[in-house]
Amino acid sequence: MTPLRPLISLISSLILIISIYLFWTWYRGEVVQRPDATFEVHRDAWRLWVGGLLLAWSFLGRWPTLFLLTRPDTAPMRKGNENGIVITGADGERLQVFIDGPANAPTMLLTHGWSLDHSVWQYGVRDLSRDFRVVTWDLPGLGRSSAKQVSLSNMADNLQVLLGHLQQPVLLVGHSIGGMAIQTLLRDHPDVQKQAVAGVVLVNTTYTNPLRTIILSPLLRLLRWPLIEPMMWLQIILKPLAWLMSWQSYLSGSMHLTARLGYGTMVTRSQLEHTAWLMTTNSPSVQARGDLAMFRWRATETLAAISVPTLVLAGEADIVTKPDASRHIAQTVPGAFLQTFGHVNHMGFLEKSQDYNVAIRDFATKIFRQHTHRPSAASPLQR
The average confidence (pLDDT) of the chain is 95
Mean pLDDT of 155-176: 98
Do 125 and 134 touch, CB atoms closer than 8 A? yes
Asked whether residue 192 carries a pLDDT value surpassing 70, the answer given is yes
pLDDT tens, residue by residue, 2-55: 678 999 999 999 999 999 999 999 999 998 888 888 888 999 999 999 999 999
Phi, psi for 95 (deg, rounded to 5): -105, 120
**Residue 28 CB: number of other CB atoms within 10 A?**
11
Spacing of C-alpha 111 from chain mean position: 10
- Give residue 36's pLDDT: 84
- DSSP conformation class of 72: P
Letter string b/e over residues 99-135, b meaning 16 or more CB atoms within 10 A of that residue's CB: bbbeeebbbbbbbbbbbbbbbbbbbbbebbbeebbbb
Ordered domains of the chain (ranges, CATH): 1-28+44-371 (3.40.50.1820)
Which residue in 353, 356, 357 sits closest to 77, CA to CA? Answer: 353
- Give residue 34's pLDDT: 87
- Give residue 374's pLDDT: 54
pLDDT tens, residue by residue, 294-338: 999 999 999 999 999 999 999 999 999 999 999 999 999 999 999
Q: Rounded CA gap, 58 and 18, in Å?
A: 10
Do 171 and 200 touch, CB atoms closer than 8 A? yes
Do 165 and 138 touch, CB atoms closer than 8 A? no
Q: Which residues contact 353 (CB under 8 A, 6 or more apart)?
A: 75, 123, 124, 127
- Give residue 375's pLDDT: 54
Do 132 and 364 touch, CB atoms closer than 8 A? yes
- Give residue 328's pLDDT: 99
Strand partners, 233: none
- DSSP conformation class of 139: P
| Least trusted range by pLDDT, from 79-93, 151-165, 208-222, 224-238 | 79-93
Q: Which residues contact 134 (CB under 8 A, 6 or more apart)?
A: 99, 100, 101, 107, 108, 110, 121, 124, 125, 128
Asked whether residue 81 carries a pLDDT value surpassing 80, the answer given is no
pTM of the model: 0.95
Q: Is residue 383 very low, low, confident or very high in pLDDT (cuts 50, 70, 90)?
A: low
Do 114 and 177 touch, CB atoms closer than 8 A? yes
Q: Which residues contact 315 (CB under 8 A, 6 or more apart)?
A: 204, 264, 323, 340, 341, 344, 345, 346, 348, 351
Which residue in 241, 239, 249, 246 sits closest to 289, CA to CA? Answer: 239
Share of the chain above pLDDT 90, in %: 91
**Residue 48 CB: number of other CB atoms within 10 A?**
15
Q: Which residues contact 221 (CB under 8 A, 6 or more apart)?
A: 211, 212
